[in-house]
Structure 1
Amino acid sequence: MRITKMAAAAAAAALALTACGGTAGTGASGGGSLRIMAPAAPGGGWDQTSRTAEQAIKSVAPDRKVEVFNVNGAGGTIGLAQLAGEKGNGNMLMTMGLVMVGAIEQNKSKVTLAETTPIAKLTEEYEIVVVPAESPLKTMADLAAAWKADPAKVSVAGGSAGGTDHIAAGLMAKAAGVDPKQVNYIAHSGGGEALNALLGNKVSIGISGVGEFAEHVKSGKLRALGVTSPERLPNLDAPTVKEGGLDVVLANWRGMVAPGGLSDADKKALIDLVTKMHDSKAWKDAVAKNGWIDAFQAGEPFAQFLTAEQTRIKGVIAEMGLVS
């Protein structure tokens, strides 16, 4: 089954590369058209971050053409394979984050982040645990009790297997005294798909970044059981998971990488552009609106963070039994 999936992913990556048209060798320092890849389906955190970045870049470089495109599948590793094929292309960025770090391990991806150029860490975001408005689960204690009674009956909608949402579910189950391997986790390729499953009452609970579900909690379509922050968040009426009796604090993070093999000039140009984007009013307003945490870190400090994070996440998902 895994081999079949990997073969399909490789084929999809090859098709995507063909469709891309081979723009490798162009340079960001020349100010050409910039493409930003969101390596997931529309509606999720990477897509949201990519489109926010597009608008913010346009606000600081109005003459620069910027295009966002989606490459869906396998926790971002299909998109990662396509990015690797763009070696030397200084006019491409890919939004990524903790989810991709986990997916690389989970999917045993042949392409790794070593084949990219780290540009900047952008944001952190806490996870939110939600249920449909009419769900019998009212609190984290209700969820813990349901898990203990029969883990298989509690279906959990979230993002890619091995990603932040999956890790959050496993950590909460462990805190509730339930084997994380028993969690009935249903992976979705984007936040939009997970949301549809929740609104259609097809799953028991959903886990995602606060920004993806917050508006639906405020509208009453979803009910928040808890947030994985150390303290309650402003502008959101939801207790922390810790308040609900499960000792879990977890933050997702997102950033941007470029293809490997960039010239020093192109690497500097992209870092400078993303730094200007981060400093813009458009970006800062979006960060506040979406409940993101500004965690900006550019160039070499981000590269060092990325190396340490790969080691950390590999250990976490191994402990949870998500990889053999």
Structure 2
Amino acid sequence: MTAKLTRLSFLALPLAATMAFGAATTVHADDWQPTSSVEFIAPANPGGGWDTLVRTSSRVIQEEGLAERNFAAINTPGGGGAVAWAQIARDAGNPHKIFATSPPIILVPLAGTSRYDHTDFTPIARLITDYSIVLVPADSEYESLNDLMEAMAANTSLSVGGGSAPGSMDHISIAGLASAAGLNAADVNYIPFSGGGEAMTNLMGGHVEAVITGAGEAAGQLGEGSDIRALGVSAPERLGGALADIPTYLEQDIDYTFDIWRGVMGTPDMPEEAVAYYENLFAEMLETDGWADARDQLGWLDAYQTSEEFGDFLDAQKEQFSEVLSELGLLGD
């Protein structure tokens, strides 16, 4: 793999997006309000990054009194997101169904394991940036990322689990890390699970040697007395909150960062007035104290984009990820 891939940042700089956040959207959604509970879907099992975003957002919206109707968190696991996407795609025009999204909405279709991609759905807003984190059991022999990389180089069967499908986000993240550390990325023994929660369960069960997942979803499970330990985080500098003591890859002389954007999309052909309602709702949510507290605890960074901006961003991500998967030999037909 080329140096181009090892240094690739998978997200436009959060600062630029945050500058746009101040303006948010000028569209008013006064003409439409939900008339029933909103289904807010996490396309994976509980405990993963999508699930964390859905439940955190739903809680803040409720606690801050931002919506009159309930936002019901629903888990629809399978296929790295493909099962949920297929169900949502059949519900075109439904203004009461939204879902959490992140790079797999681009990567899974490119790898050929979903017939639906981002163009089949309605972009609502990009919300935050998360980062990858490498975890091992608390009693693991690996004390640093370099220890783990050396072990992977010596034993290509050493397994690293992740909460996304082959060729998707966690796989790309660990492959890039391995390449930056001097390994052949294609030799990484990546074991896919249906979400970050299941990946960490298998880590504790001794079924994989390490796990790569979103830093935000791991934050609540780290700390004194935890059964897991973090070796490194893919951010350009140390994060705050529960993740403040975790060294970056860069600190360990591995020249690699990896950004995980997360946002919200709606059903195909969602009415414009519903899109405007949700777009404004999430812009308001990001300005609340409740959100700031949750965001900082999870190590997230605000990276708001409007529906239109998010759609353009997704198109650009498809071009970028197509190149990455091609270099890894994982681009589908």
Tell me the TM-score normalized by structure 1.
0.87
1:311 matched to 2:319? The reply is: yes
One of 227, 230, 242 as aligned partner of 1:221: 227
Q: Following TM superposition, by how much is the alpha carbon of 1:273 offset from its aligned partner in structure 2, in angstroms? A: 2.0
RMSD, matched Cα: 1.8
One of 73, 93, 99 as aligned partner of 2:78: 73
Kept in 2: contact 1:181–1:322 (CA 8 A)? no
Matches within 5 A, 1:5-44: 29-33=32-36, 34-44=38-48
Tell me the TM-score normalized by structure 2.
0.84
User: Which piece of structure 1 moves more, 42-51 or 209-218?
Assistant: 209-218
Cα distance in 1 for partners of 2:194, 2:85 equals 15
Q: Following TM superposition, by how much is the alpha carbon of 1:139 offset from its aligned partner in structure 2, in angstroms? A: 1.2
Q: Following TM superposition, by how much is the alpha carbon of 1:149 offset from its aligned partner in structure 2, in angstroms? A: 0.9
Find the residue that maps to 1:282 and give its secondary structure.
helix
Q: Following TM superposition, by how much is the alpha carbon of 1:169 offset from its aligned partner in structure 2, in angstroms? A: 0.9
Count of aligned pairs between the two proteins: 297
Q: What is residue 238 of structure 2 aligned with on the other side?
A: 232
Cα distance in 1 for partners of 2:123, 2:67 equals 25
Kept in 2: contact 1:116–1:258 (CA 8 A)? yes
Deviations 1:232-282 (A, max 9, x none): 223421211122232110111110001121222222122122222222322
Kept in 1: contact 2:250–2:256 (CA 8 A)? yes
Q: Choose between structure 1 and 2: higher helix proportion.
A: 1
Deviations 1:93-134 (A, max 9, x none): 110111232112123422221111100001111111111111
Aligned partner letter, 1:296: Y
Aligned partner letter, 1:114: T
Q: Following TM superposition, by how much is the alpha carbon of 1:62 offset from its aligned partner in structure 2, in angstroms? A: 5.0
Kept in 2: contact 1:60–1:280 (CA 8 A)? no
Find the residue that maps to 2:45 and give its secondary structure.
coil
Cα distance in 2 for partners of 1:140, 1:83 equals 39
Cα distance in 1 for partners of 2:67, 2:93 equals 25
Query: What is the identity percentage for the equivalent residue pairs of Structure 1 and Structure 2?
Result: 36
Q: Following TM superposition, by how much is the alpha carbon of 1:230 offset from its aligned partner in structure 2, in angstroms? A: 1.3
Aligned partner letter, 1:43: G
User: Which piece of structure 1 moves more, 210-219 or 38-47?
Assistant: 210-219
Q: What is residue 251 of structure 1 aligned with on the other side?
A: 259
User: Which piece of structure 1 moves more, 131-140 or 105-114?
Assistant: 105-114
1:275 matched to 2:283? The reply is: yes
More RCO (CA 8 Å, sep 6+): 2
Kept in 2: contact 1:90–1:270 (CA 8 A)? no
Cα distance in 2 for partners of 1:258, 1:38 equals 12
